[in-house]
Amino acid sequence: MTSKAKATAAGCPFSGAAAQDTCPMGDPADNARAFNPFEGAYQLDPAKALRWSRDQLPVFFAPELGYWVVSRYDDIKSVFRDPVLFSPKNVLEKITPATPEAMEILQSYGYGMNKTLVNEDEPAHMERRRVLLDHFVPSELEKHKDMVRRLTREKIDAFINEGRTDLVESMLYEVPLLVALHFLGVPEDEIETLKSFSLAHSVNTWGKPTDEKQIEVAHDVGRFWQYAGQVIEKMRAEPEGTGWMHHTIRMNAKMPDVVTDSYVHSMMMAIIVAAHETTSLASANMFKTLLTHREAWEDICADPSLIPNAVEECLRYAGSIVAWRRQATAPTSVGGVDLPEGAKLLVVQASGNQDERHFEDGDTFDIYRDNAVDHLTFGYGAHQCMGKNIGRMEMRIFLEEMSRRLPHLQLSEQSFSYLPNTSFRGPDELWVEWDPARNPERVDNTALEPRRDFAVGAPARRDIARKVRVAELRQEADDILGLTLEDAQGRPLPKWSAGAHIELCVGDFDRKYSLCGDPDSDSYQVAILREDTGRGGSRFIHETLKAGDAIKLRGPSNLFRLDPDAAHYVLVAGGIGITPILAMADRLKAEGRSYELHHAGRSLTTMAFTARLKADHGSALTLYADDEQTFMDLPAMVAGLGKGAQIYACGPQGLLRALEDLTADLPDGTFHFEHFSTSNAGLDPEKETAFEIELVDSGMVLEVANDTTVLDTILAAGIDIACDCREGLCGSCEVAVQEGDIDHRDMVLTRTERSENKRIMTCCSRSTGGKLKLAL
Ligand code: HEM
Ligand code: FES
């Protein structure tokens, strides 16, 4: 250890963190050297523990672990996205190598954990996944709902008059285990034994047991292995048995080369843990998080329609799988860091899930967050959790039943303990209390009836919106109305970053507007141009909104972020495009960065914020007005760009296309733009033709009808795919195309990217006619 590393290990001067913790303000190299996921800060809160890494060193080597740690959202996603370059083969490897004694014990039981699904390489993995997928499609999972509700209600009945319980012990451990066994078709006879086996498997695979503990764990893991073998034999004797493992066993008989004997035995052991520990821990995290964010809990009690998104936000903010593994199969780079062939990666989803480069105000818990579902807790790509919709279903039912029957539930005073390991996270116990005299069902029998049932699958974004109130309206310029919005209950609205937008839901319209006030204020400000030729949203707002009106909004989201590393920023706004640009200028000024601001419009009276721009950004500002014959000289602007300078532009399509052409030969990342409107006003079925898509990974061939999009066709087939704007503006619904000609209709891809024909925005772009083969 170097003397610097010793200084860090002795404790953090800024946070008072304990010896093994990483110092938030320290030298990133020291923090990397000191990183230890088995104790200290990571065990307390993995996302917080890696904040320094997200900010300063997003990919680093941790010598204690022998792994490269990846902490940013985009980097983690790019690793998950490529299962060939980043093989999952080390996913179930013992992260702490077995001692020779433990090895001997494991061998004495014939232990042979090998390939399952989660650690299998391509192409074998996909071939197997396809054969075994049927049981997980939404229509099949719907059939399990009643059982989940019945089990949940029985457990609640047993403790509802007690006034205090450990929720893990009394419900959250056993229900997911019973659901898992039922789904798998495994006999329910050895619940207690399975508990100790699962624990041993987690410690064995992701923990750091002492040499002494290794021996105990090796015996339990060995017994678990043998138990799994016996269960398979029992199940083989029931050829008509129901459940996924029975199906797997039948497939093993039918296609022994695809679903091998070794796979069946390894899977039997791994799936029991995968299917229940994950869900138990996630559910315990969910109740802990909601009860410590009382307003969120109360909102759910008052409005159960919030439950599906609240579950996603809990999975994002406090998921049960906080880190996963991959191994590089060739020399490569992640986040600009070169990695050798064979490099082992610990991708920390908990950290990515709070990365503010993807989630606005990422370390704040917000059940109204409209992109919570983008979390990485289920992994991503070819290996994304097959059971995610079972986990979601259970968590929703737990929450629906508990918030209805025990709205007065409180978290008891307690200190929480966690099993020290890299990946599985949730409290060992979760004590809650309530006054049984206040149980709603004592006075009203209807309180026993579920208020809401939720369709299986990810929540729909259109169902997520927060209630706000129009606090003030003002005229910012001719035809431009300024709005100040406040939370309907007077709470602070979430923080946002320069370039962010919200989506206002007013009347029948949903329209996006960039935020342009102070990002740290508790309220939001937007400026809205009246567009008489548009779809009517802005006209409606101009004509009908009054101070005090209650409306809804989605967001904030940010698809137009400032790269913090530019040497100089050229900000260009056309007309109402000034709104995000103003927020950017404010931020750059506050940070003392070098910037210039160009704002053009038809005339000064039609341009918003001119007085404020002059007052706050006068020395950096140039205004251009058509009626004064002053025009932007875009070629000169681009020609004058210094090294490392970047352009950020928002405005009409003509302006953006001109800048795109002028910057076509400059390095990638020089030009950033945002459209504040789109011409994708929806599909006109009369002008469209149907075509086929083939999903290469899952082997499905689907028809995209003339009145639907590629995105909706894929979602309807039960495959999760992110989407935000649904208008070709945000890039979140992108899918890689392996074959076929694309009719690009989005505003995201550059001209070069379009001509490469490799990526499609599934919400709006289509095929030019023939079949598209998609990497899904
Ligand atoms: C894979 C998380 C519930 C079955 C995974 C992966 C994660 C995960 C992180 C690896 C993803 C990757 O490598 O990209 C979770 C969480 C759950 C949950 C957080 C609950 C909240 C379930 C349930 C089942 C299940 C209930 C089954 C009944 C599977 C299977 C895979 C998997 C079969 C392997 C998929 C493949 O490699 O193709 N899960 N899981 N999971 N999970 Fe889950
Ligand atoms: Fe935004 Fe498709 S969902 S581009």
288 pLDDT more than 90: yes
CA-CA distance, 426 to 411, in Å (whole number)? 15
Domain 691-774 class, CATH top level: alpha beta
- Ligand number with the minimum distance to the CA of 353: 1
Work out the average pLDDT over 646-672: 93
By CB atoms closer than 10 A (0-12, 13-18, 19+), residue 333 is exposed
Cα distances (Å, whole numbers) of residue 304 to 283, 319, 538? 17, 21, 31
Exposure string of 469-486, with b = 16+ CB inside 10 Å and e = fewer, is bbbebeebbebbbbbbbb
pLDDT of residue 94: 92
Please answer whether residues 406 and 441 qualify as being in contact, where contact means their C-beta atoms are separated by less than 8 angstroms: no
Q: Please give the number of the atom of ligand 2 that sits closest to the Cα of 725.
A: 1
Backbone angles phi, psi at 200, to 5 degrees: -65, -40
Q: Sign of torsion, CA 149 154 160 165?
A: negative
Q: Which of 461, 675, 729, 744 to mutate to test the pocket of ligand 2 (most atoms within 8 A of CB)?
A: 729
**Distances 309 to 43, 470, 633 between C-alpha atoms, Å:** 26, 25, 47
Q: What is the pLDDT of residues 100-126, one digit of tens each?
A: 999 999 999 999 888 888 999 988 888
Q: Which ipTM value was assigned to this complex? A: 0.96
**Residue 59 DSSP one-character state:** E
The helix (run of H) or strand (run of E) holding residue 309 is: helix 307-317
Distance between Cα 570 and ligand 1 center (Å): 45
Indicate the residue type of 573. Answer: A
Three-class DSSP category at 260: coil
Q: What is the mean pLDDT of residues 528-556?
A: 87
Which residues have any ligand 2 atom within 6 Å of their CB?
723-726, 728-733, 746, 748, 761, 763
Assigned fold of 465-558: Elongation Factor Tu (Ef-tu); domain 3 (2.40.30)
H-run or E-run covering 222:
helix 211-236
The amino acid at 431: W
Q: Within 6 Å (CB) of ligand 1, which residues are found?
A: 80, 88, 117-118, 129, 180, 183, 274-275, 278-279, 282, 319-321, 324, 377-381, 383-388, 390-391
Domain map (residue ranges) of the chain: 3-65, 100-448, 465-558, 568-674, 691-774
Model pLDDT, residue 535: 64
Q: Is the pLDDT of residue 168 over 50?
A: yes
Pairing of strands 700-704, 691-695: antiparallel
List, for residues 623-637, the tens digit of each pLDDT value.
999 999 999 999 999
CATH of 568-674, one of 3.90.1200.10, 3.40.50.80, 3.40.50.1820, 3.40.1190.20: 3.40.50.80
What would the pLDDT profile of 683-731 be if each residue is shown by its tens digit?
A: 778 889 999 999 887 778 899 998 889 998 988 777 777 776 777 877 7
* Higher-confidence position of 538 and 296: 296
Which residues are registered as beta bridge partners of 554? 503
Q: How many Å apart are CA 497 and CA 502, to the nearest integer? A: 12
Does position 170 have pLDDT exceeding 50, yes or no?
A: yes
pLDDT, mean over the chain: 90
The confidence band for 514, taking pLDDT boundaries of 50, 70 and 90, is very high
Give yes or no for residue 539 having a pLDDT over 90.
no
**What's the confidence (pLDDT) of residue 682?**
63
Residue of the CA atom closest to atom 26 of ligand 1:
275
pLDDT band at 37 (very low <50, low <70, confident <90, very high): very high
- Given a cut of 60, whether residue 678 has pLDDT beyond it is no
Distance (angstroms) between ligand 2 centre and the Cα of 708 equals: 15
285, 426 in Cβ contact below 8 A? yes
**One-letter identity of residue 464:** I
Q: Is the pLDDT of residue 27 over 90?
A: no
Pocket test for ligand 1, best of 278, 283, 392 (most atoms within 8 A of CB): 278
- Residues 240, 259: Cα–Cα separation, whole Å: 18
pLDDT over 70 at 9, yes or no: no
Which ligand is nearest to the Cα of residue 326, counting in written order? 1
Question: Measured between alpha carbons, how far apart are the two ends of the chain, in Å?
Answer: 46
pLDDT at 325: 98
pLDDT at 2 > cutoff 60 = no
Which CATH code is given to the segment(s) 100-448?
Answer: 1.10.630.10
- Looking at residue 283, its pLDDT comes to 98
Per-residue model confidence (pLDDT) at position 6 = 29
| Percent of the chain clearing pLDDT 90 (strictly above) | 69
For residue 155, report the distance from its CA to the centre of ligand 1, in Å.
25
- Note the pLDDT of residue 534: 65
* CB half-sphere exposure, 721, CA atoms < 13 A: 27
The residue-averaged pLDDT of 659-672 equals 92
